[in-house]
């Protein structure tokens, strides 16, 4: 049975709720993972989400900042949230789907929103960058404490706010000192991936030799013409699940929708 998972930094779910509906109508993903919802739990637009065909919703939100949510056509067996750095930030939520969702074996989905890190890539000068590095260190330790069992089916998606490969940015040379592509961030993201034994599903479909972006700055007068993008959004899967990956789509056209997010949705389909 195919299962399509979408991940999207929506940059305010209430402001862009109709874009969530557009994604649902055009592509009908089984599950939509949102980041940067910027919405407390009691104000999440559940009625709209239900209208779009997603009766099952897991939320971890806060007022005005951060926030993650998982919208699903299929029921959850469990929902969990993990905090990092004792900041009280809503940056992680996980769900497990099982027999009630029509799956032959359980599948766990982790939805992350890693801190952006500010503008100065120096943890001594920039507390936001220090927070980002500390968050990654805690996430690595957390992964090491929760190793996946052989054959376990799990996926980690979200806005990880790091573009690790040279082809994940429009100019490797010019962005080496820009937050999101600095060597210290890339090294930590690599350790996080290794700690969980995660497979980069996106690069399984689009070779590392090819440019691949999921984010274009609002600052560009014409984002499409300049095409100065970065791949900040990721889909990682456990080896058992990655082996069942069937398709991958980056919806670049969504960057041109009315009042868009600066990120675009990524859709991955697995044989679940």
CATH architecture of 2-271: 4-Layer Sandwich (3.60)
Query: What is the structure's pLDDT at 148?
Result: 87
CB neighbours of 52 closer than 8 A, spacing ≥ 6? 20, 21, 24, 25, 71
Contact 115, 102 (CB under 8 A): no
Contacts 24+ apart (CB under 8 A), 121-126: 121/177, 121/178, 121/179, 121/182, 121/184, 121/185
Q: What pLDDT is recorded for position 245? A: 98
Which pLDDT value is given to residue 231? 98
Report pLDDT for 65.
94
Q: What is the pLDDT of residues 45-59, one digit of tens each?
A: 999 999 999 999 999
Nearby residues of 243 by Cβ (< 8 Å), 6 or more positions away: none
User: Could you tell me what percent of the chain has a pLDDT over 70?
Assistant: 100
- At residue 117, the pLDDT reads 98
Give the rounded percent of residues in the chain with a pLDDT score beyond 90: 96
Residues of the chain with pLDDT under 50: none
As a whole number of Å, the CA-based R_g of the chain is 17
Compute the distance between CA of residue 226 and CA of residue 141 in angstroms, rounded to an integer.
Answer: 39
Per-residue confidence (pLDDT) for residue 241, from 0 to 100? 97
- With a threshold of 0.85, does the pTM exceed it? yes
189-211 pLDDT, tens digit per residue, is: 999 999 999 999 999 999 999 99
In degrees and rounded to multiples of 5, residue 3 shows phi and psi of -130, 120
For the chain, which residues make up each domain, given as ranges? 2-271
Q: What is the pLDDT of residue 1?
A: 85
The DSSP bridge partners found for residue 4 are: 269
What pLDDT shows up at residue 149? 87
């Amino acid at each position: 049975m195919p299962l399509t998972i979408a991940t999207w930094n929506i940059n305010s779910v209430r402001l862009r709720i109709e874009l969530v509906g557009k994604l649902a109508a055009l592509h009908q993903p089984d599950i939509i993972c949102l980041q940067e919802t910027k919405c407390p739990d009691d104000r999440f637009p559940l009625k709209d989400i239900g209208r779009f065909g997603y009766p099952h919703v897991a939320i971890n939100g806060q007022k005005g900042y951060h926030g993650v949510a998982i919208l699903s056509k299929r029921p959850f067996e469990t929902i969990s949230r993990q905090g990092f750095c004792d900041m009280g930030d809503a940056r992680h939520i996980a769900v497990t789907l099982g027999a009630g969702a029509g799956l032959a074996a359980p599948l766990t989905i982790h939805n992350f929103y890693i801190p952006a890190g500010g503008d100065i890539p120096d943890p001594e000068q920039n507390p936001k960058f220090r927070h980002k590095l500390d968050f990654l260190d805690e996430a690595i330790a957390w992964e090491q404490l929760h190793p996946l069992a052989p054959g376990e089916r799990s996926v980690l998606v979200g806005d990880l706010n790091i573009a690790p490969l040279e082809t994940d940015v429009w100019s490797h040379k010019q962005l080496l000192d820009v937050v999101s592509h600095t060597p210290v961030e890339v090294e930590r993201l690599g350790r996080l991936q290794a700690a969980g034994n995660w497979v980069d599903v996106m690069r399984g479909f689009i070779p590392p030799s090819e440019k691949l972006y999921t984010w274009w700055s609002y600052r560009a007068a014409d984002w499409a013409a300049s095409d100065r993008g970065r791949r900040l959004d990721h889909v990682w899967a456990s080896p058992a699940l990655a082996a069942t990956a069937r398709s991958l789509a980056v919806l670049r056209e969504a960057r041109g929708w009315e009042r868009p997010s600066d990120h675009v949705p990524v859709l991955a389909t697995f044989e679940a």
